[in-house]
Amino acid sequence: MNTQQARRCVLYARLSVTKEESVSIARQLLSCRRYAEARGWEVVGEFIDDGVSATANKPEDRKGWAALLAATDFDAVIIWKVDRLARRVLDFLHADEALQKRGAGLVAVEDPIDMTSPQGRAFAVMLAVFGEMEAEAIRARVRAARAQLLKDGRWAGGGIPYGYRSSTNPDGPGWVLVKDPERQPWLTEIVGKALGGATVNAITTWLTTAGAPLPEGSIARRKSGATGWNRQTVDGILRNPVLAGMTPHNPGRPKSAKRADPFAVFRDETGEAVVNETLAVITTEEFRTLQMLLDSRSTPQARKRSEREPTSPFLSRVVRCDDCDVFMCRGTNQKRPVLYCPSCRQTMSRSAFDPYLITRLLDERGAEPLGGSTVRAHWAAAGNSDEARREILLTQLASLRVRRGVVGRYFDENRVLLRWRDSAAEQPSVPESQSQDRRP
């Protein structure tokens, strides 16, 4: 694509978080429109990803960029700067490759790049390198600032644990964590019951029945008429290392992995966990015992087979957690089927997820050829066999991942990252479980 000859273009803008120094989506699009007008190009579409991090989300996994690639009849994409598209070199190259395949080129308003020549492409890659370096520098500064706050014994911000509150630092600037006199007795009782053998569900029921005050800012408090506790909240309270006076701290942990490791805590130069005795309600050994109790009860495979809730094998070893890159496991939550990540513990309810996948499979791939017939025909022949249905789904999938999002009452399809196989690729073979059903 020669940028001098392009006549039809689309605009793309992205912003992670609106700040005073950031360039808003509207300003990015305005600059791109002016550029197109100056070149005499026709703008045929505008696509945005607002509130989306380029570091945490690849271009192909963003809703706006995916919609752009699905559009037709354009030969140039105008962005404000290279880092609006990607902050990793590999992500930038993959995005540019996707545009090349459709004969489109990339133009940046503030970065004078020309993707039609080897020199221009090399310069664009250099800009992407600098963008990646800048993102890493920002992360390093944030990690260093947080580490210094913790070293000084100050509160580094974030969600305040149940049973505690923030208070002005009596020894200097900033804030410190102190016990909340209203909720501290409830916290002590919660921990005591858990160490005594009570299950998370039992503690949740007791808290609701007893009318225990909910955590400050709890999602449950904002729901109209909702006054009860939920097991996820209780489980999170029991897994917080502040119970033993330790401070959660793992600079290398993904932001979304809220409970990746309860022992990822702030440590001193010798590697020993820093313990603030004034905040502790149990010892570090008791905290370790508590985590072992929780883990033994939260993993379905750890229970006796007779005690497990039966779940459908339809998505067994099919869905990966986008944060941890591991297969999500089958399980139940309050007797409802879910998928959960064994590493970061994120969950996805299957009550809506399974029907959503089936609908998309039949609507988008039903007419695809499969074993001398079509996907839809084989699906009908599979009947109610979840194993046979799983084999059909696997013939069409390139990848299926679930990322974190707001977990609530309603199904959020934006958490689902689904890619089908290339239709032009070699036709997949018929599932073995149905091959015997084929007529000669």
Encode pLDDT of 407-423 as tens digits. Answer: 556 788 889 999 999 86
Residue 83 tokens, joined: 């880092």
Cα-to-chain-centroid distance, residue 37: 38
29 pLDDT more than 90: yes
261 pLDDT more than 80: no
Give the percent of the chain with pLDDT over 90: 32
pLDDT band with cut points at 50, 70 and 90 for residue 304: very low
Q: Of 52-56, 119-123, 194-198, give the range with the top mean pLDDT.
A: 194-198
CA atoms of 352 and 427, how far apart (whole Å):
30
CA atoms of 372 and 435, how far apart (whole Å):
11
**Gyration radius of the chain over CA positions:** 26
Specify whether the CB–CB gap between 103 and 36 falls below 8 A.
no
362 pLDDT more than 70: yes
Residue 9, classed as helix, strand or coil, is strand
66 pLDDT more than 50: yes
Query: Topology of 181-298 in CATH?
Result: Hect, E3 ligase catalytic domain fold (3.90.1750)
156 pLDDT more than 90: no
306 pLDDT more than 60: no
Q: What was the pLDDT predicted at 335?
A: 77
CA atoms of 11 and 29, how far apart (whole Å):
7
4 pLDDT more than 70: no
CA atoms of 347 and 339, how far apart (whole Å):
6
Give the percent of the chain with pLDDT over 70: 75
Residue 152 tokens, joined: 């000084």
Residue 405 tokens, joined: 């999002």
Q: What was the pLDDT predicted at 128?
A: 64
pLDDT band with cut points at 50, 70 and 90 for residue 438: very low
Task: Please tell me the CATH code under which domain 8-140 is placed.
Answer: 3.40.50.1390
pLDDT band with cut points at 50, 70 and 90 for residue 255: very low
Q: What was the pLDDT predicted at 247?
A: 81
Q: What was the pLDDT predicted at 111?
A: 75
Q: What was the pLDDT predicted at 405?
A: 74
Q: What was the pLDDT predicted at 417?
A: 94
Mean pLDDT value across residues 76-101: 84
Q: At what angle do helices 375-382 and 350-365 cross, to 10 degrees?
A: 140
pLDDT band with cut points at 50, 70 and 90 for residue 320: very high
Specify the range with the lowest mean pLDDT, choosing from 127-141, 260-274, 294-308, 425-439.
425-439
Cα 378 to Cα 318, 373, 385, 393, distances in angstroms? 19, 7, 12, 11
Specify the range with the lowest mean pLDDT, choosing from 14-28, 55-69, 98-112.
14-28
275 pLDDT more than 50: yes
Q: Of 81-95, 375-389, 399-413, give the range with the top mean pLDDT.
A: 375-389
Mean pLDDT value across residues 54-70: 88
- Stated as kind and residue range, the H or E segment containing 297 is helix 284-298
Average pLDDT, the chain: 80
pLDDT band with cut points at 50, 70 and 90 for residue 398: very high
User: pTM for the whole thing?
Assistant: 0.43
Mean pLDDT value across residues 238-246: 88
| Bigger pLDDT: 405 vs 294 | 294
Q: What was the pLDDT predicted at 302?
A: 46
Residue 143 tokens, joined: 């990690």
CA atoms within 13 A on the CB side of 326: 12
Q: What was the pLDDT predicted at 124?
A: 65
| Bigger pLDDT: 186 vs 126 | 186
Domain ranges, ordered by start, for the chain: 8-140, 181-298, 313-435
CA atoms of 196 and 290, how far apart (whole Å):
10
Q: What DSSP state is assigned to residue 307?
A: G
Q: What was the pLDDT predicted at 254?
A: 45
CA atoms of 100 and 317, how far apart (whole Å):
34
Specify the range with the lowest mean pLDDT, choosing from 174-183, 294-303, 337-346.
294-303
Mean pLDDT value across residues 258-277: 73
389 pLDDT more than 90: yes
